[in-house]
């Protein structure tokens, strides 16, 4: 039975005013501005940036759509490896949401995987306006070896990142706290990881208001 009780296991610490301000921000205009397939095609540094990373098919594009209340802002595909470039979205002229290519089990050539990895690494090292990476973890499976490897790379790049659990609607209610605790234990092993893990569901909207508020707070620093 999927978790469907609003607020079950939801993160705490954000005021109602912060939640509402973030809702208004994400309800504003949000436009695709650039898709970068090479370092040379990255857009100029301008606004604060929050990036979304994770294994292929973890739900990055679905989460971007849920945050902005749009169904088709970021293209969603059931086929792993669909996102093959770094996609930039301008949110109300306040910040860039950045959708990174997935890693893990994408059915593409080794050379293509290496190209994506090199591009993502160059982006992470070279964007002084990057405020945080939201590292998405499938709540059904927890932190995998490929996630730990990405976390090590983020540690080395000194990039702040936060684990975001996806697809919690596919867990039983009692399983959500356990999934959070497991992810928090993994985060404690990495120096650049934010200690709080946020559970979400793009399907039901669970945890989306809190994640919006976290992103808005990070972008305003």
The sheet carrying 198-199 orders its strands as: 30-36, 86-91, 95-99, 49-54, 130-138, 161-166, 198-199
pTM score, whole prediction:
0.86
Angle at 13 between CA 3 and CA 49, to 5 degrees: 90
**What dihedral do alpha carbons 149, 36, 162, 159 form, nearest 10°?**
70
Across 102-125, b (16+ Cβ under 10 Å) vs e yields: bbbebeeeeeeeebbeebbeebbe
The residue extents of the domains of the chain are 16-219
> Are 17 and 217 within 8 A, CB to CB?
no
pLDDT tens digits along 146-183: 999 999 989 998 999 999 999 999 999 999 999 999 99
Residues 163, 27: Cα–Cα separation, whole Å: 24
Residues 120, 44: Cα–Cα separation, whole Å: 16
> Are 129 and 166 within 8 A, CB to CB?
no
Q: Does domain 16-219 have CATH number 3.40.50.300?
A: yes
Residue 113 pLDDT greater than 80, yes or no: no
pLDDT tens digits along 31-53: 999 898 888 889 999 999 999 99
Residue 18 pLDDT greater than 90, yes or no: yes
């Amino acid at each position: 039975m999927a978790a469907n009780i609003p607020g079950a296991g939801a993160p705490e610490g954000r005021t109602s005013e912060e939640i509402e301000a973030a809702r208004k921000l994400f309800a504003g205009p949000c436009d695709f501005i650039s898709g970068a397939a090479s370092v040379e095609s990255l857009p100029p540094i301008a606004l604060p940036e929050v990036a979304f990373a994770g294994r292929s098919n973890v739900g990055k594009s679905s989460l971007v759509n849920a945050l902005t209340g749009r169904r088709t802002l970021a293209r969603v595909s059931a086929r792993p490896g669909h996102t093959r470039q770094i996609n930039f979205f301008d949110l109300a002229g306040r910040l860039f949401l950045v959708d990174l290519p997935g890693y893990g089990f994408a059915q593409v050539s080794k050379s293509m995987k290496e190209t994506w990895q090199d591009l993502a690494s160059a982006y992470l090292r070279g964007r002084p306006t990057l405020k945080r990476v939201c590292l998405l973890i499938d709540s059904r499976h927890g932190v995998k070896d490929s996630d730990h490897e990405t976390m090590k790379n983020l540690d080395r790049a000194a990039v702040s990142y936060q684990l975001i659990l996806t697809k919690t609607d596919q867990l039983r209610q009692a399983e959500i706290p356990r999934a959070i605790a497991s992810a928090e234990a993994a985060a404690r092993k990495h120096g650049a990881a934010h200690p709080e893990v946020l559970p979400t569901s793009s399907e039901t909207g669970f945890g989306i208001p809190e994640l919006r508020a976290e992103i808005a707070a990070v972008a305003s620093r």
